[in-house]
């Protein structure tokens, strides 16, 4: 059975802050979703909540563009691979995750970038293809940004883009 995750962005888990029939939950005070909103916790359900429930309890449904940002250091990728047998970076990190400078530089040095701007680059080999809003199939590129002293993996974006294309 599919589990549906919803993030609490206004308050923590408590009586009356989410529908009652959740199957699991976790407090995550101070965590941040990839859309920049604070997350106080999440609840999982065996059913999809109605739009009215989502609005009433001010929840954010889970998606690749709204998950809790995690810190994914380069050395963690190797440990993850050894433990799971999954070697692809996208199995380890999700769009919006914070990465370290070592990861950023590894991918920057991997191939000449297809896009290179101050604090932004896309690895110089298409990851895949996705359909754009006009129905045209376009290449997607593994994308990273550097903001201040932080580095982020954005996922697989169209050339020059910032949105993960799944």
Decide if pLDDT at 166 tops 80: no
Overall average pLDDT of the 114-121 stretch: 93
CA distance readout (Å), 37 to 22, 31, 84, 155: 22, 9, 30, 19
Band (pLDDT 50/70/90 cuts) for residue 63 is confident
Residue 1 confidence (pLDDT) = 60
pLDDT 10s digits, 129-149: 999 889 999 999 999 999 888
Overall average pLDDT of the 99-113 stretch: 96
Q: How many CB atoms lie within 10 A of CB 112?
A: 11
CA distance readout (Å), 123 to 2, 22, 45, 165: 34, 40, 37, 15
Those residues whose C-beta lies under 8 Å from the C-beta of residue 19, and which sit 6 or more positions away, are 43, 45, 49, 53, 57
CA distance 71 to 161: 22
Whole-prediction pTM value?
0.68
């Amino acid at each position: 059975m599919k589990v549906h995750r919803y993030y609490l962005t206004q308050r923590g888990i408590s009586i009356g802050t989410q529908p009652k029939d959740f199957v699991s939950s976790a407090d995550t005070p101070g965590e941040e979703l990839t859309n920049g909103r604070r997350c106080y916790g999440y609840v999982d359900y065996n059913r999809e909540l109605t739009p009215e429930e989502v609005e009433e309890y001010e929840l954010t449904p889970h998606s690749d563009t709204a998950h809790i940002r995690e810190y994914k250091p380069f050395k963690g990728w190797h440990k993850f691979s050894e433990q799971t047998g999954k070697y692809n970076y996208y199995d380890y990190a999700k769009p919006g995750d914070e990465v370290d400078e070592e990861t950023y530089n590894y991918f920057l040095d991997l191939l000449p970038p297809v896009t290179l701007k101050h604090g932004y680059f896309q690895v110089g080999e298409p990851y895949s293809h996705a359909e754009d809003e006009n129905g045209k199939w376009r290449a997607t590129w593994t994308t990273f940004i550097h903001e201040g002293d932080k580095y982020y993996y954005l996922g697989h974006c169209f050339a020059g883009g910032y949105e993960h294309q799944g």
